[in-house]
Amino acid sequence: MGVIVAMTSSWKVSLVVLACLPILFFGGVARTKLRAGFSHKTKKAFESAGQLASECVNAMRTVASLGREETFISKYQVSVEQASGTVLNGVASSLGFAFSELFCKAPLFFALF
């Protein structure tokens, strides 16, 4: 219905907008796949950090009797730093998406109105 109204009011502008729709669609699909990949990596990284902490707490007496606290603390710090890196990648991806929306879709909107 909206396409019919757009065609009747300004057919030239609506043709330009219709030509841009596939670009916007495939950009959205690519963004969705990137976000899914980032969230999967982040989930795995935090899962391994939590698993290590859980094992240490469950075997606290054994770890303490062997004097291996520092070893497990350093392993946990490494796994948390890896998880933080994946979170930062997701933030960078989101900022990139925000700027692409700002510089791609906003000018199209202002050109139409």
- The string of pLDDT tens digits covering residues 74-88 is 888 888 887 777 777
Q: What is the pLDDT of residue 82?
A: 79
Q: Where is 2: in which H helix or E strand?
A: helix 2-9
Q: What is the pLDDT of residue 16?
A: 78
pLDDT for 14-29, tens place per residue? 787 778 778 778 877 8
Cα 50-53-59 angle, rounded to 5 deg: 140
pLDDT for 41-75, tens place per residue? 778 888 888 888 888 888 888 878 888 888 888 88
Within 10 Å of residue 44's Cβ, how many Cβ atoms? Answer: 13
The single residue listed with the structure tokens 């699909």 is 29
Closest Cα partner for 89 from 16, 33, 32, 38? 38
d(Cα 76, Cα 50) in Å, to the nearest integer?
9
Average pLDDT, the chain: 78
DSSP 8-state code for residue 10: -
